[in-house]
Amino acid sequence: MHVITKKKLAAFWAVHPDAERPLRDWFRLIEQGTFPDLASVHAIWPSADYVDGYTVFNIGGNKYRLIVTIVYARGQVYIQDVLTHAEYDRNQWKRGR
């Protein structure tokens, strides 16, 4: 899979240093993998959820949320947002999308 773009991940872990290792691990696994559908994503990340057209990953022991759009046919993953659990729970990320 091709991840577009890693900049949002790096910007997030610059503010939340404890998120760096789990985000780097997620990035490595997603780039090395081939995921034809959500079921194949669940095989690696059983807690990944499909929410309003986005795939949401629990990162760092459920401390953070990584929100992406996956275009399975093209093998592309678009990073939409990385949030703390509290930010995610406020649902502001859904507004205007």
Read off the pLDDT of residues 22-54 as tens digits, 9 standing for 90 and up.
999 999 999 999 999 999 999 999 999 999 899
pLDDT score for 91: 72
- Residue 61 — left, alpha, or beta (φ > 0 → left; ψ -120 to 50 → alpha)? left
What are the sequence ranges of the domains in the chain?
2-90
Looking at the domain that runs over 2-90, which CATH code has it been given? 3.30.2310.20
Question: Per-residue pLDDT averaged across 53-66, rounded?
Answer: 94
Q: Regarding predicted confidence, which is higher, 5 or 83?
A: 83
Res. 4 pLDDT band, cuts 50 70 90: very high
Per-residue CA distances from 64 to 12, 60, 73, 89 (Å):
10, 6, 27, 11
- Higher pLDDT among residues 96 and 73, named by residue: 73
Q: How many CB atoms lie within 10 A of CB 78?
A: 15
Residue 6 has pLDDT above 80, yes or no: yes
Q: Round the CA-based radius of gyration of the chain to a whole number and report it.
A: 12
